[in-house]
Amino acid sequence: MALFLSTFINKVDRKGRVSVPAPFRAAIRGQSFKGIIAFRSYREAAIEACAMDRMERLSDSIDALDQFSEEQDDFASTIFADSHQLPIDGDGRIILPAALTDHAGITDTAAFVGRGGTFQIWDPSAFERHQGEARARAGRRGATLRLAPRDGDG
């Protein structure tokens, strides 16, 4: 499984090309699609992104919902209908479609933000605000996290 960590800020050229951080490229090595899948976040002014294996898991999860239910339709319309397969070129770059950059407010720089099994692409200043707000919310709640068990733990 791909694991995306850290935050990287890279320049976006006039054609929408941006270098995918080397650790992110390494994380998707060996996938069936040599690139990333990206779609507009329905929660934030950001781009959601992942490797093909994660997209296949999302598909399985949506397929498990009641066929023709509103919930199934909402997820399919929000995620799959809006997804772009973005191949990585020989220089390690992708081309961000205007629909995605417009949604996220990305112009000349993009922040690649690791989120474990997925990552997001943000306008760097918008992400800085978002991260500050998230830290403040977690601090106010006294948030804790229980580690999920792994096979063999016991």
Spatial neighbors of 130 by CB under 8 A, at least 6 apart, are 44, 46, 122
CB 86 within 8 A of CB 78: no
Cα–Cα distance measured from residue 150 to residue 111, given in angstroms and rounded to the nearest whole number: 31
Determine, yes or no, domain membership for 150. no
Determine, yes or no, domain membership for 11. yes
Is pTM beyond 0.75? Reply is yes
Q: What is the model's pLDDT at position 153?
A: 64
If we measure between CA atoms, which residue out of 77, 4, 13 comes closest to residue 36?
A: 4
Return the bridge partners of 39, or none.
48
For the chain, the domain total comes to: 1
pLDDT tens by residue, 119-147: 999 999 999 999 999 999 999 999 898 99
Q: How many angstroms separate the most distant Cα atoms in the chain?
A: 54
CATH of the domain at 69: 3.40.1550.20
Containing structural domain, residue 28: 7-141
pLDDT tens by residue, 77-121: 989 999 999 999 999 999 999 999 999 999 999 999 999 999 999
Tokens of 106: 């990305």
Which single residue is written with the structure tokens 């992400």? 127
